[in-house]
Amino acid sequence: MVDNNQNLIIFDCDGVLVDSEIISVAVDQLVLADLGWTLSIEEIIDRFVGRSHAHFLQVVEEHLGRKLSDDWEDAYQHLYRQELAANLKLIDGIADALEVIPYPMCVASNGSHSKMEFTLTRAGLWSRFEGRIFSASDVKHGKPAPDLFLHAAEVLGFKPSECVVVEDSWAGVQAAIAASMKVVAYAGGITRREQLEGDGVVIIDHMSQLPDAINALINH
């Protein structure tokens, strides 16, 4: 019999708990165009979704051939907040899944703490995860490096083998694999299904499948 307290479920935030990625990508497209780089939505997804803010900034500066000012984002933050406030919703099926998953849970995202507080509060999930929320800003390297997941597990007192990561991006899946953790990949978002495939990765198409997928991995 599995001890529920000896397994940790680590959730990504954007695209797993809250349906924020397509909103943010649309704003990214406007921001990048204003900076001088025109990309399609598909190109932005392939280049940036699931990656850290530091990666985004590095790639943009390399393409533009110039450093951006320290306060360059100030002119655009209201666009993200405005669109998220108006259009953010929970990923379909995640609320019911969270109610029946019997294991300890946390959030580990490449997003900033302030962004997660905003989106999780808007979605009504902040109180569920408060005190167990981890950001790429907490570690040296964000996803696809394993640092963030390993940090979350260590802080909460779990071994990598006791953790199941729920992800929706290539970078997140690779980070979980690198951390030697079990992985459930949600293919109902904006990342192509084939990009989520990997050795031992269980892919689901709807969050109603999540509890069974987690139990199967833990009891395997």
- Residue 208, phi then psi, degrees to nearest 5: -65, -20
Tokens representing 60?
A: 């943009």
Peptide bond connecting 144 to the previous residue in cis, omega within 30 degrees of 0: yes
Residues recognised as catalytic: 12, 14
Closest residue by Cα to residue 213 from 167, 154, 161? 167
Answer for the pair 196, 171: CB distance below 8 angstroms, yes or no. Answer: no
Closest residue by Cα to residue 19 from 106, 122, 110? 122
Rounded CA-CA distance 52/141 in Å is: 8
Tokens representing 155?
A: 């802080």
| Residue that is written with structure tokens 């390399």 in the block | 62
Helical pair 53-64 and 41-48, crossing angle rounded to 10 deg: 120
Q: Would residue 110 be called left, alpha or beta, if left means φ above 0 and alpha means ψ between -120 and 50 degrees?
A: alpha
